[in-house]
Amino acid sequence: MLSWEKIDAIPGWFMFQSYCVWRALLDQQARVAGDLFEIGVWRGRSASLLASYRKGDEKLYLCDLRLDEPAVQRAIRSVGSEPVNIVPLSGPSADLPAKLDLKAMHQTVRWFHIDGEHTGTAVYRELEFANRIVNTDGIVVIDDFFSPRYPANTTEAIRYLEKNPFHFRLLAVGFNKGYLCRPESLPRYMDFMASGMSGALSAYGAKTTIFKTTGPWDTDAVGITDYVANHLEFVNGVATGRLLPPVLAAATKASWIRQFAEREGINLSDSYAYSDSMSDLPMLSVVGHPAAVNPDMRLRQTALHHDWPILNLK
């Protein structure tokens, strides 16, 4: 039977939290038919999970620059599945349209994982490719989404979404991955994110509830259910320019984060924080992965001094 221990014994990058999120979402596709597709397989860590969710005559397409088929087959067997109905695609993802019959594959794929080249150009092209073959219930997963190491993964995916609002919508972001689905199925998946995701995650052993979504009505947003924000003071419907107490800023923000993490069992050394302002230094200092985004001069100096990633977004 599939377990995290078996997946974790396979070399690769796929994280425990993503294992839980994938299982929760793939369980939602139990009555959906469709093939599974991965770009960027390495030794088959995430592909093995997909192999164990393959049903009946569904296919598992595996594309990698240099696909190590024997290693991937061993990995799939090691999680208790048979490596059948695999379509091996060794070579760059840019060659996929020439290799496959895209007309025949129209709307046939229910899971599409982008974890290959990690450049903006490749992600954009792979989204165009995914759009040709992913079905109405399909989910597209983009690796290293919002990762400071690969900013173009995020900016190009968002550019694609902005240009093509009827292709995919952003369903969720978490644990280094972005999840997209078709606009038609967004309300259904969003309902699940809001009502069932937390329970499903804890059933698979993830001690976290901080997976973020919005309600199904907010189809454009990045997606947040669990958030805290300052409140503006209004008098007669006009904002006064002041904030209502308690104001979350500087050290107060950091101590709120500490308390929240303790209450929710969140490991702050595994957590990320992003800010543009030196006033957030306390917050950036309590997490293991701080990043400066379009920082002011003082924060830029501090980030350079500590070797924190600096994102310059336009």
Ligand X SMILES: C[S@@+](CC[C@H](N)C(=O)[O-])C[C@H]1O[C@@H](n2cnc3c(N)ncnc32)[C@H](O)[C@@H]1O
- Residue ranges that bind ligand X, judged by CB under 6 A: 12-14, 39-42, 45-46, 63-66, 92-93, 115-117, 122
Please state the φ and ψ torsions of residue 32, each to the nearest 5 degrees: -100, 135
Cβ neighbors of 262 (< 8 A, separation 6 or more) are: none
Residue 144 CB, shortest distance to ligand X, in Å, is: 8
CA distance 90 to 195: 40
Residue 164 CB, shortest distance to ligand X, in Å, is: 22
Residue 78 CB, shortest distance to ligand X, in Å, is: 13
CA distance 44 to 46: 6
Compare residues 51 and 257 and give the one whose CB is closer to ligand X.
Answer: 51
CA distance 259 to 197: 23
CA distance 77 to 82: 6
Compare residues 71 and 243 and give the one whose CB is closer to ligand X.
Answer: 71
Residue 76 CB, shortest distance to ligand X, in Å, is: 12
- Residue whose C-beta lies closest to ligand X: 12
Compare residues 55 and 99 and give the one whose CB is closer to ligand X.
Answer: 99
Compare residues 133 and 292 and give the one whose CB is closer to ligand X.
Answer: 133
Burial grade of 299 (CB within 10 A; 0-12, 13-18, 19 or more): buried
Residue 206 CB, shortest distance to ligand X, in Å, is: 17
What tokens does 126 get? 């792979």
Compare residues 64 and 156 and give the one whose CB is closer to ligand X.
Answer: 64
